[in-house]
């Protein structure tokens, strides 16, 4: 399902950084932030330890805490929602769109209460959330935290014709560089981006014990810094991101064409006016276990995401929505199968997978 690139360019970048003995707080981390901000066209970007700590930091920077509500999807990776518990606030789970698996904006609107302070929108599988979510958050004065952990390189054109990249479609963006993601850093890693001048300095501070440039702790923070070796590897990977996401898009197009008339499998849809980043290519089928067994017999890796919606996991057993029905969430959880779409998939491998899918009748 994942095959991160590791080559002589990345190895040299890592070794040169180790040889420099500047292992923390150096030029690699600063340059990685600048280059990542350029890529997203965000105001700034700050490397950090991983996507989960980026989400926690984003909520702290937005001053979310006990008594506040944060609207989240339930069909996502667990840390898109548990970050809210970690700051003592209450996640409010909202259903997703049936076709694109991102937050349903109308249902977000209905879930807003006087306690709502923020929304965590997830670009799930690399599909961007609806731009109407951005409009709604602006109108309601809610902080929009963009969980872009799966969406490096995704883009969207808004109704006014302007084009935006994941990481600059909200107030604070959170990325993960876990090895399976569209780009990686040779270990754990994350990035915090922002489009808002009011958050810019606090983001840098929170990753460094909440300290100001003259080293006084002015906010609660921690050591969330990325190591220099990871930043050096990340810089090298970032320089290939556009090309890699392009390959993911070609792979996705090929699958979608091949599956167009399949009787048992539906290919995923892409939101109009957007470019999917295809972190995962998830097909819909009535019997996912059966399809996975069929692929497994042929030596093909395939995975289900996310079979137990977040609000139904034990960590939420005392949450008021633990037994709530979110119909589109339940349907997606029961029907999706992700198949390999990574940029390093060879043409022969993809052909083999397509033939196996076409044999599944």
* The one segment of 143-151, 161-169, 238-246, 256-264 that binds ligand PLP by CB under 6 A: 143-151
Choice between 182 and 350, CB closer to ligand PLP: 182
Does residue number 77 form part of the binding site for ligand PLP (CB under 6 A)? yes
Does residue number 333 form part of the binding site for ligand PLP (CB under 6 A)? no
**CA distance between the termini of the chain:** 23
Q: Which of 95, 147, 171, 228 binds ligand PLP (CB under 6 A)?
A: 147
* The one segment of 4-12, 47-55, 280-288, 308-316 that binds ligand PLP by CB under 6 A: 47-55
Does residue number 76 form part of the binding site for ligand PLP (CB under 6 A)? yes
Kindly list the distances between the CA atom of residue 256 and the CA atoms of 78, 119, 251, 337, in Å, as whole numbers in the listed order.
28, 32, 9, 14
Using CB under 6 A, count the residues that bind ligand PLP: 14
Does residue number 51 form part of the binding site for ligand PLP (CB under 6 A)? yes
Does residue number 309 form part of the binding site for ligand PLP (CB under 6 A)? no
Nearest CA among 88, 114, 78 for reference residue 220: 88
Query: 192 - beta bridge partners?
Result: 46, 174
Q: Which of 58, 149, 295, 357 binds ligand PLP (CB under 6 A)?
A: 149
Choice between 52 and 285, CB closer to ligand PLP: 52
- The residue of the chain with the least Cβ separation from ligand PLP equals 51
Does residue number 193 form part of the binding site for ligand PLP (CB under 6 A)? no
* The one segment of 74-82, 106-114, 201-209, 333-341 that binds ligand PLP by CB under 6 A: 74-82
Task: Please list every residue from 150 through 189 that binds ligand PLP, using CB under 6 A.
Answer: 150, 176, 178
The torsion of the CA quartet 169, 171, 177, 180, rounded to 10 degrees, works out to: -40
Cβ–Cβ < 8 Å for 354, 258 = yes
Does residue number 80 form part of the binding site for ligand PLP (CB under 6 A)? yes
Does residue number 50 form part of the binding site for ligand PLP (CB under 6 A)? yes
CA 304, 306, 312, 315 torsion-angle sign:
positive
Does residue number 52 form part of the binding site for ligand PLP (CB under 6 A)? yes
Choice between 39 and 356, CB closer to ligand PLP: 39
Burial of 9 (0-12, 13-18, 19+ CB in 10 A): middle
| Least spacing, CB of residue 189 vs ligand PLP, in Å | 7
Q: Which of 79, 81, 230, 285 binds ligand PLP (CB under 6 A)?
A: 79
* The one segment of 14-22, 77-85, 138-146, 192-200 that binds ligand PLP by CB under 6 A: 77-85
| Least spacing, CB of residue 160 vs ligand PLP, in Å | 27
Q: What is the binding site for ligand PLP (CB under 6 A)?
A: 50-52, 76-77, 79-80, 122, 147, 149-150, 176, 178, 190
């Amino acid at each position: 399902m994942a095959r991160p690139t590791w080559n002589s360019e990345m190895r040299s970048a890592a070794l040169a950084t180790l040889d420099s003995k500047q292992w923390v707080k150096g030029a690699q981390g600063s340059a990685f932030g600048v280059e990542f901000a350029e890529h997203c066209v965000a105001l700034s970007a700050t490397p950090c330890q991983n996507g989960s700590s980026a989400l926690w930091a984003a909520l702290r920077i937005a001053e979310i805490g006990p008594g506040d509500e944060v609207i989240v999807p339930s069909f996502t990776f667990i840390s898109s929602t548990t970050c809210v518990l970690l700051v003592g606030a209450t996640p409010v789970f909202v259903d997703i769109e049936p076709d694109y698996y991102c937050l349903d904006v109308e249902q977000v609107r209905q879930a807003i209460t006087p306690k709502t302070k923020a929304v965590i929108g997830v670009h799930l599988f690399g599909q961007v959330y609806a731009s109407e979510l951005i409009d709604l958050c602006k109108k309601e004065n809610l902080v929009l935290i963009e969980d872009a952990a799966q969406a490096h390189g995704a883009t969207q054109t808004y109704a006014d014709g302007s084009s935006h990249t994941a990481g600059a479609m909200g107030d604070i963006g959170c990325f993960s560089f876990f090895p399976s993601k569209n780009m990686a850093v040779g270990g754990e890693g994350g990035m915090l981006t922002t489009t808002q001048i009011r958050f810019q300095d606090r983001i840098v501070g929170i990753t460094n014990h909440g300290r100001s440039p003259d080293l006084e702790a002015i906010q609660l923070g921690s050591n969330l810094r990325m190591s220099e070796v990871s930043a050096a590897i990340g810089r090298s990977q970032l320089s290939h991101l556009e090309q890699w996401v392009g390959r993911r898009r070609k792979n996705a197009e090929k699958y979608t064409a091949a599956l167009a008339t399949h009787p048992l499998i539906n290919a995923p849809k892409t939101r109009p006016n957007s470019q999917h980043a295809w972190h995962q290519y998830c097909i819909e089928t009535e019997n996912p276990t059966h399809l996975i067994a069929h692929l497994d017999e042929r030596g093909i890796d395939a995975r289900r995401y996310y079979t137990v919606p977040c609000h139904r996991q034990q960590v939420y057993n005392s949450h008021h929505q633990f037994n709530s029905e979110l119909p589109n969430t339940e349907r997606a959880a029961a029907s999706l199968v992700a198949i390999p779409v990574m940029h390093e998939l060879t043409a022969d491998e993809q052909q083999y997978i397509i033939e196996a899918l076409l044999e599944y009748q």
